[in-house]
Amino acid sequence: MFSTVSQTAILLLAFTISHCTAQSFHGAEDPRIRTALTLEHPVNGVSTTPGGRLFILYARIDGSKGPQVAEYDRTTNTSTPYPNAEWNSYTATSDPATHLIRTNSQRIGPDGHLWLVDTGSPAFGAPVILPNGPKLVVINLATNKVSHIYSLGNATLSTSLIDDVRFNPASNMAYVTDAGAPAIILLNLATGDTRRVLVEDPSTSAYMPISAEGKLVHTSAGAFERIYADQHEVSPDGKWYYYQPSNGGLSRIQTKYLDQAFHNATLAQELGQYRQPYAHTPSTGGTAIDAHGNIYVSDTDSQRIVRVWPNGTMTLLVQDPRLLWVDAMWVDTQQKLWMPAAQLNRGTPFNNGTSYVVPPLHVFTIELGIGPSPVDHA
Ligand SMILES: *[C@@H]1O[C@H](CO)[C@@H](O)[C@H](O)[C@H]1NC(C)=O
Ligand SMILES: *[C@@H]1O[C@H](CO)[C@@H](O)[C@H](O)[C@H]1NC(C)=O
Ligand SMILES: *[C@@H]1O[C@H](CO)[C@@H](O)[C@H](O)[C@H]1NC(C)=O
Ligand SMILES: *[C@@H]1O[C@H](CO)[C@@H](O)[C@H](O)[C@H]1NC(C)=O
Ligand SMILES: *[C@@H]1O[C@H](CO)[C@@H](O)[C@H](O)[C@H]1NC(C)=O
């Protein structure tokens, strides 16, 4: 009896692995793809203003040192630490509340400000510095000054990886993914109060490790690398929140349940009842959403971008061998999709300290013909 069950389990596991680990792509380049930036070091996030300013986030997974957040000048191809060198100069003796410890993502919000998501952990997998390390840092782009800091210390565990932020302007809430300890963090932007929900729910957890270029990714200790709640989007009408772990499997839940759960502990415990499967996405580096509610998903295995239509159907947008671990994407007001090919799986956190990143790195664009969602960014 026992052996029958375990054989079935092994067969199921074998099927799951072969089914979920997709192949690496070595086909032709797609001429629709344009090179926007050529860089020495990996960048895992870009954002642009309607006026043409450009902000980038250096991932620092290739052994390089230096600022993480920078403003990029496309006429000189130079980057300047942003908002300044001091914020980007964290060392073990710095005040964790007023320095960027390790920024995981950045984006311009619907308010037109630049939002930086600081994990509060000095190195990938290192314990979070509590309570003041994990935070959202908001920068006013008119003054280039930090205008607000939201501490996430009360909603963060030492094993957390505070990952990314999205907004629901109608309820003045922000949603933050925790990729290190499975959960979504609800943040009331008026009060700064927080609540962890969907804690270790199947929809925020990773039933499989992340996979890239056809291979499962490992930690430096040799374990399988699981990256929990990571990519997420809010629908342009503000009604739906879409979220997934990095290994894929996109779920959705109505934002009204998240927002009510912020004030209602009973509902917060029962939130898992209100989520739905949305799309069987692949292992993913990053996503973006457009004004029509299409979600773009970068497949870390197969060097492609998948489009998830608002009805949940997936189609291929583009596949190209250069799209090596495209991380957080961005839809600009010129109706282009920005794709930073960051090669993260080749970096030090996943190869026991050695970097196999091959420079130069590129940020690519492709024409979408659709602009950004107004609840996503200006
Ligand atoms: C800046 O980089 C772009 C994209 O790689 C390139 O086309 C352009 O020639 C560069 N400009 C300068 C001044 O180096
Ligand atoms: C964290 O919780 C403590 C105790 O309830 C409270 O005093 C403090 O204001 C909270 N901090 C934040 C940033 O919400
Ligand atoms: C990683 O590198 C360290 C130090 O070089 C070594 O002791 C350890 O065994 C390596 N881990 C794996 C999983 O290979
Ligand atoms: C809190 O949520 C529970 C479960 O959905 C519901 O039964 C209850 O009426 C809610 N309480 C309030 C005050 O809305
Ligand atoms: C979903 O939307 C796409 C794009 O509009 C369309 O091609 C497809 O037929 C739709 N699928 C269903 C099942 O409605």
pTM of the model: 0.94
Nearest CA to ligand 2 atom 8: 154
Q: Three-class SS of residue 9?
A: helix
- The CATH number linked to 80 is 2.120.10.30
Nearest CA to ligand 3 atom 11: 221
In this model, does residue 95 exceed pLDDT 50? yes
Nearest CA to ligand 3 atom 4: 352
The Cα 209–Cα 224 span in angstroms is: 6
Tally the domains of the chain. 1
Q: Which pLDDT band, with edges at 50, 70 and 90, does 120 fall under?
A: very high
Q: What is the pLDDT of residue 333?
A: 97
Task: Check pocket membership of 310 for ligand 5, CB cut-off 6 A.
Answer: no
Q: What is the pLDDT of residue 25?
A: 96
- Does the residue 373 lie in any domain? no
Contact call for residues 121 and 93 (beta carbons, < 8 A): no
Helix/strand number for the chain, H first, E second = 3, 26
Pick the range with the lowest mean pLDDT from 13-22, 200-209, 241-250, 325-334. Answer: 13-22
Q: Which pLDDT band, with edges at 50, 70 and 90, does 22 fall under?
A: confident
- Does the residue 148 lie in any domain? yes
- Does the residue 23 lie in any domain? yes
Which atom of ligand 1 lies nearest, measured to the CA of 38?
Answer: 5
In this model, does residue 10 exceed pLDDT 90? no
Task: Say which residues have a Cβ less than 8 Å from residue 224's Cβ, sequence separation at least 6.
Answer: 209, 216, 217, 218
Contact call for residues 161 and 180 (beta carbons, < 8 A): yes
The Cα 128–Cα 120 span in angstroms is: 5
Task: Say which residues have a Cβ less than 8 Å from residue 107's Cβ, sequence separation at least 6.
Answer: 45, 47, 114, 115, 165, 328, 330, 377
Q: Which helix (H) or strand (E) segment is 4 a member of?
A: helix 2-20
CA of 284 to the centre of ligand 5 (A): 22
The Cα 367–Cα 20 span in angstroms is: 29
In this model, does residue 11 exceed pLDDT 80? no
- Does the residue 84 lie in any domain? yes
Q: Which of 278, 313, 316, 370 is the pocket-test mutation for ligand 5 (most atoms within 8 Å of CB)?
A: 313
- Does the residue 270 lie in any domain? yes
Q: What is the pLDDT of residue 21?
A: 53
Q: Which pLDDT band, with edges at 50, 70 and 90, does 13 fall under?
A: very low
Q: Three-class SS of residue 14?
A: helix
Task: Check pocket membership of 356 for ligand 5, CB cut-off 6 A.
Answer: no
> Domain range holding 208?
4-367
Looking at the DSSP bridge assignments, the partners of residue 279 are 250
- Does the residue 377 lie in any domain? no
CA of 220 to the centre of ligand 1 (A): 36
Per-residue pLDDT reduced to its tens digit, 185-222: 999 999 999 999 999 999 999 999 999 999 999 999 99
- Does the residue 51 lie in any domain? yes
Per-residue pLDDT reduced to its tens digit, 139-175: 999 999 999 999 999 999 999 999 999 999 999 999 9
Q: Which pLDDT band, with edges at 50, 70 and 90, does 378 fall under?
A: confident
Count the neighbouring beta carbons within 10 Å of the beta carbon of residue 172: 13
CA of 360 to the centre of ligand 1 (A): 12
Q: What is the pLDDT of residue 12?
A: 43
Q: What is the pLDDT of residue 305?
A: 98
- Does the residue 374 lie in any domain? no
